Structure 1
Amino acid sequence: MFADERIAVIGAGLAGCLVARQLADRGGMPEVFEKSRGTGGRLAAARLGGASADLGAALIDSKAAMHLLDARAQLPLEQWPHKRSDMKLMTCAEEEGWVPMPRASSLTRALLEGVPLYTETRIVALEEHNQGGWWLHTEAGETKGPYTRVVLAVPAPQAVPLLAASDPLQRAASSARMTPSWVSLLELPERPVKLAEVDVLEGDHPILARICRDSSKPGRSGEIWQLQANTRWSEQYVDADPGWVGQQLIGALSALLGESVKPDALRVHRWLYSNVESSQKIRPVSSCGSLAVCGDWVCGQGILAAVESANLLIRALETND
């Protein structure tokens, strides 16, 4: 299956990297193209001061982790027992999740072991060859190919212009709604007293959706916190200045703690396509079997949906053959 097939995977997020891994394990020859400087997508890591911190999803739930370990036993994943509270600090419960080691992007890097990866390469058009196969056109004016198949592992809005050759897939991508999320990483001089026993806070708040102590994760150090704004606030200020956004999130944390928070280092990032608001489950392969999609929007939302979409795609490709 897929023996010696040259297959282009566009997008080096979790779904794309998992598909590439499974294609390679089945004899295929996947090549991955990523518009950013590194892998991970919404499981990316970023530098903050002298350390590295997770910029996207705070953790991986147990079900998704088990699916990943089933696909490849030797992955840099470790269990993370942590204490979770609501935004009012009224409850505190022990929970478990999984985190990549030593940073989020280590997971996708491990999945791509031995797979060619081209970063900072934005694909802007696909061209179907009249004798079969696909050519990829980059933003820099280069042409890559030919490829037997192309897999789009990007957020639905980014997939739409590349799916002109498949009306059903393009309509499905057009109908999926994805929402933004502002995220800020803070390096603090010391751990806030009110959060001395809490690692993750989630719940109802006018600005914040999640507060996570990144430094509590296995293998991390320092005093780094991730603040994630909720969908409503992020949509309202989607085009705001990042510096202003960072100050608003710091202010929200200060108000929640009842003390002024003054970070030693700050990083702000906008995930334009962070969450899947609505989508429909689809068969992720075109009628000809050579164009396909994956990503959380194909199966639902979140990390588990991204993993399931990769598995669904592999099964669909095998069935199509």
Structure 2
Amino acid sequence: MNDVLEYLLTAPIDAAAPADLEQAWARHAAVAAAFRSPVDCAVAGGFAADRLGFAFLSGYQEALRKLVPELVGPELIAVSATEEGGAHPAAIRTEVVPAGNGWVVRGTKTFTTMGDQARQLVVIAGTGEVVDGRPRLRAALVAAGQPGVTVTNRPPLPMAPEIPHATVVFEDAAARLLPGDGYADFLKPFRTVEDVHVLAATLGWLVRVGRAAGWPRPVLQRLLATVAMVRGLDMDAPTSPGVHIALGGIFAEFDRLLAEAEPLWEQVDAVTRERWERDRPLLATAGRVRAQRLATAWRRVGFGEEIAG
């Protein structure tokens, strides 16, 4: 099947809950194989998930595969960017340096999603150069299981505790540089690409919830319409102001839909409803940064601050 909208309405709802993240990822891979684009794979993977945390897993992984097409295969991948001072370029102290015929990474990342489950890490590291007054960054692909990489899982978060996070220490870990600039071509666009794919997966999961609970057809119709809007975004130009502004409108519609559907959660089974209440703050974690990007996008197309706000 290649029509993800029809899939959402007709695919059977697998009642068997995955035992762990590994099983959830295997389920994602099985359903995503029928679709081409990463955003459709995220939607289908979200529908196959039995909880929001595993829908996030689908969206996060497909976002990485959209941004770095050479990341193919079944292995779990993670972005390793955040350090003690954050993830903005001035905060990056991790280095990627030449060594023999290749490159090695040195430094510590304090918060890497997927924790010890990731088999490949996309590490954002500095080169020691300064370009246009900004430290130059590169994205480097590092195998997590090699000597020189120490992964220590952090305590689970209150929301989506099934998704691990870790501190990662690199001590001359062998790395392969990815093309382009680590900030402009990876870290900056990834924030938007991740938002889009995680939203796509969340919508897929909500259709599953709504179908299982017998939500009214108009609600399912609006969910599918929002999926269609997400699929229409140009993910080949994720930093364009138009994409950010359109995405802002989609999130506004999504928030309205969630608010209006709030009473319908009484129809949902207790386990799913309780997980939703626990995990829904996950959807707001990037809200402040997303609002800043939206305001910047409006300014870039010539609208004043009062309009951007």
Instruction: Please report the TM-score for the alignment, with normalisation by the length of structure 2.
Output: 0.29
Instruction: Please report the TM-score for the alignment, with normalisation by the length of structure 1.
Output: 0.28
Q: Which structure: greater strand fraction? A: 1
Q: Which structure: greater helix fraction? A: 2
